[in-house]
Chains A and B, each alone.
Chain A
Amino acid sequence: MLDEEEHFQEQLSERLRYFGEKNREQDFWLVIEPKFLNRFPNITSRLKRPAVALVSTDAAWITFMKLRLDRVLTESFEAKTLEEALASNPVDLQFEKPKNWTAPYPKYEYGWWEPFLPPASGGADLSLSQ
């Protein structure tokens, strides 16, 4: 998802910009190899690793994102704190250029997702993971 779905970056940036304009507190994050995946064996059995989850407290937005991305699985869970919800396991990410790059522009750089990674505190209860 981080590798090929470039419109995903545009959507997240658009939403972050919008939240900034409206002074709304951010309620969505990207979590790479989230710890909460262990709770969902039915998801992990279908998932290629490393995986990344889009986590938000806005259930309707997750429904929309699931419609957009399609090739993802959704689940929801309750967490006491944001740290707990967004905790992740360390992993080495490979950011590969697709073999068949047809675009007349360069691919996004490694690390484009960093602005969307979790901060250090809060409370989430929904996830979409891949």
Chain B
Amino acid sequence: MATAELALVKPINRLSRFGAGAAPRLGGRRPPSVVRMAVGSPPPAAGATTALPKKSPKTTEIKETLLTPRFYTTDFDEMESLFNTEMNKNLNEKEFEALLQEFKTDYNQTHFVRNPAFKEAADKLQGPLRQIFVEFLERSCTAEFSGFLLYKELGRRLKKTNPVVAEIFSLMSRDEARHAGFLNKGLSDFNLALDLGFLTKARKYTFFKPKFIFYATYLSEKIGYWRYITIYRHLKANPEFQVYPIFKYFENWCQDENRHGDFFSALLKAQPQFLNDWKAKLWSRFFCLSVYVTMYLNDCQRTAFYEGIGLNTKEFDMHVIIETNRTSARIFPAVLDVENPEFKRKLDRMVEINEKLIAVGESQDIPLVKNFKKIPLVAALVSEIVAAYLMPPVESGSVDFAEFEPRLVY
């Protein structure tokens, strides 16, 4: 894979992006926790049926950037105490029981069935678009798989303290495994496969406190929903861009993401300390900004994919940001004023600065000179991000405990 940056096709992959938006490629701050995707997109060798990263090191490059999908782990003991019904009286068991029923229903049990159209479409995809699709499948698969691992572990660890919450985590890991498997089968259309067992062992895990896992997974599930449904509905209206059948599955698929988000919404409601004070407001805005900026910067480096399916990248992203923000306002105590045109202007300036930063990184200068050239750019980027963070926020929150009377008609 010749690209320096990743293709973030499901850019806000599960559990990732903490602070990434706030510090993309900041000079010397190279977080050791960031793991590169262990997967490149080697052009399929003639006759090769699979190109597993483990076995074909020559065809695989490992890229490291702040924006790559990451694998997360958390403080499981703290999670256990948060969900101990004896210690936490705020746990709304009715809500969790209802969620459990909804996950048990398993609307998509028979949805992920492939057909011959996949392979035929993949064979027709040639040239640069083929590479872009492979990257899309790899990144999406890795993102779904990282969700699978975390949810599965949480399901296992919480079994004794809170069986209901634990079972919901297990059922969500079922969904994620299904999604990852479906994407991996998609890779087989391109004569590739991700070795998920290898990924599990080879990747480093980034640690985050439960609180941050809640905010960030909520946002990544909801933004994932909005990305998928937007692509689905766009392609339904413009079928001439329907180049690979996987998009036809997105409508049902992303209902899973949306439900996962609802579960994190219930988890946050069960921990009012994460929602009801000034710190919660600052964190909410911080996570919203991190997620939106990361997606915008990523996608703007990957316009070929979006244009390849007939979308205008920036318009697509702004729509997704606005909708995700409206959704988040139902739970977060404060959100960003993303519908203010100034917000988009700031994002666009960040894209310009980020492009210059990438150009410096790719230049032939020695590292010292590169770093020197990066300083003013990094300062400019940070100042844009801080300015976006400090824009007057929008007060929000669930109608269940908002201090104001929210409009009951949306």
Which residues of A come within 8 Å of B, CB atoms?
1, 3-5, 7, 10-11, 14-15, 17-18, 21, 46-48, 51, 60-61, 63-64, 67-68, 70-73, 100, 102-106, 130
Contact = CB atoms under 8 A, between A and B. Distances in A.
Interface string B308-342: 00011001101100110000001100000001000
Interface residues of B, number: 44
Interface of B: 94-95, 97-99, 101-102, 105, 107, 110, 225, 229-230, 233-234, 236-237, 251-252, 255, 258, 262, 265-266, 311-312, 315-316, 318-319, 322-323, 330-331, 339, 398-400, 405-410
Contacts of B97: 60, 63
Contacts of B229: 7, 10
Given A4-B410, A104-B230, A105-B234, A64 B316 contact: no
B237 A68 contact: no
A67 B95 contact: yes
Contacts of B311: 104
B408 A46 contact: yes
Contacts of A48: 407-409
B175 to A, nearest CB: 14
Contacts of B98: 60-61, 63-64, 67
A61 B406 contact: no
Contacts of B107: 14-15, 17-18
Nearest to B266: A67
A61 B107 CA distance: 14
Contacts of A21: 110
Contacts of A73: 399, 408
Contact of B237 (A15, A64, A105): A105
Contacts of A67: 95, 98-99, 262, 265-266
Given A17-B107, A60-B101, A60-B102, 7 more contacts: A7-B229, A10-B229, A48-B409, A71-B408, A71-B409, A105-B233, A130-B408
The CB with the most chain B CB atoms within 10 A, among A67, A70, A105, is that of A67
A71 B266 CA distance: 15
Contact of B319 (A1, A10, A46, A102): A102
16 contacts: A3-B410, A4-B410, A7-B258, A48-B407, A60-B101, A63-B97, A64-B98, A64-B99, A64-B102, A67-B262, A67-B265, A70-B399, A73-B399, A102-B318, A104-B311, A104-B319
The 3 residue pairs across chains A and B that have the minimum distance between CB atoms:
A63-B98, A105-B233, A70-B330
Nearest to A15: B107
Contact of A130 (B95, B398, B405, B409): B409
B312 A104 contact: yes
A100 B322 CA distance: 11
B405 A46 contact: yes
Contacts of B225: 7
Contacts of A103: 230, 233, 319
Nearest to A65: B98
A18 to B, nearest CB: 5
A5 B409 CA distance: 10
Contacts of A100: 339
Contacts of B95: 63-64, 67
A104 B94 contact: no
A15 B107 CA distance: 8
Contacts of B266: 67
A105 B230 CA distance: 8
Contacts of B312: 104
B343 to A, nearest CB: 13
A128 to B, nearest CB: 12
Contacts of A4: 410
Nearest to A59: B98
Contacts of B233: 103, 105
The CB with the most chain A CB atoms within 10 A, among B251, B339, B409, is that of B409
A100 to B, nearest CB: 7
